[in-house]
Structure 1
Amino acid sequence: MQSRKPIAKAFKQEVKTIRRDGGYIPINEVDDDVVTIMAKALALKTIERKSQQLELTNKVIEEQKTMVTLSEKIS
């Protein structure tokens, strides 16, 4: 049994979209104002900087791993 009301058809279409895409993200043109664009750029820049720091830290850890294992064997 299905409803023939227009709102039911619209709801059914939204459910299909959620099932197909895994989520529903409404598109709002107001969100792309200057402040939002600047915030997104700042967030991307921060993420990139943190990613570089993490990569450098992992490299240092790998380099020091052999020294740590050697010192553990000695003591």
Structure 2
Amino acid sequence: MRREPLSMLAQSELIDALVGRCVMRGGAVAAETLLSIDRKDVDDLVHLANRLRRLALFEDRIRAMVMASS
């Protein structure tokens, strides 16, 4: 069953949650981390990687549009 792609906010929250699992109690980033992620997270990461791969072809144009609007 194909799901709708994650929104940009949901994608950033997924990445943030993964990074959050790589931080020690004192707030320092761990030198190494073993993660246990569920099937849904793996599927979301695969979709994110595929989406970024497709967007990479237009990276220069996207960057120019974003920089021009600020």
Shorter-chain-normalised TM-score: which range?
Answer: 0.3 to 0.5
Q: Which has the larger radius of gyration?
A: 1
Report the structure, 1 or 2, having the larger helix content. 1
